[in-house]
Amino acid sequence: MIGKNENICLIGTSHIAQQSVLEVKTAIASLKPKIVALEMDSKRFASLMSKKRKITLRDIKYLGVRGFIFNIIGAAIERRLGRLVKTAPGSEIKVAVESAKQVDAKLALIDQDISITLKRLTSSLTWKEKFRFIKELVLAVFKRSQKISFDLRRVPDQKVIQKLTNELKKKYPSVYRTLITERDDHMAKALNKISTDYPQEKIVAIVGAGHIEGILRKLD
């Protein structure tokens, strides 16, 4: 998918989809970009690429207690889904890094600092959203099974993504604003700067499929 800037190719991924791993590897090998931009900040990137890493008090201080808890819950859910499809979360990022090396491309981390995102998330949540989250968490625990309406091994199509993001926006407007809209802004600005600095070079950007529409809209 090519952005409004003609030298930017956006690839929408799912962090646990086998399809994403193949698409990322194929795109970088065929396009041979000068820069591979990742939906990562330096902290998350270092954690993902580290083979052995323990949780420290520094992590809690960096993210804040509530942000740290949100991060742990989110990571646990992602790992559980990843086990279902036998694809470790973040596999497409690791493949992107390896593929970038093979074509001698530079890496660019374009996502907002996770500590900023999580602190804004925990501070912006309304009481209504907190109660709704707790209620849905409790119901999920007691439900024997929950049917997933799409194949986790593949990236959902844009209609499914739009439906899920609209539901998130309706139920949790603060979460939607912090995790989607604000990060779309941040990543679009970062890509615009890279495109300006390297106007003649091909740029491949690997981002979550839920960010594609917002980033495309904001790219100038």
Strands laid side by side in the 8-13 sheet: 8-13, 203-208, 35-38, 106-109
Instruction: Give yes or no for a contact between 115 and 63, defined as CB atoms under 8 angstroms apart.
Output: yes
Distance CA 165, CA 55 (A): 31
Any idea which of 16-30, 52-66, 124-138, 201-215 has the lowest mean pLDDT? 52-66
**How many CB atoms are closer than 10 A to CB 143?**
8
CA-based R_g, the chain, Å:
18
pLDDT tens digit string along 77-96?
A: 455 544 544 456 678 999 99
105 compared with 74, residue with greater pLDDT: 105
- pLDDT-based confidence at residue 98 (cuts at 50, 70, 90): very high
pLDDT on residue 82? 44
Angle at 19 between CA 30 and CA 214, to 5 degrees: 85
Q: Which two tokens stand for residue 74?
A: 């989110």
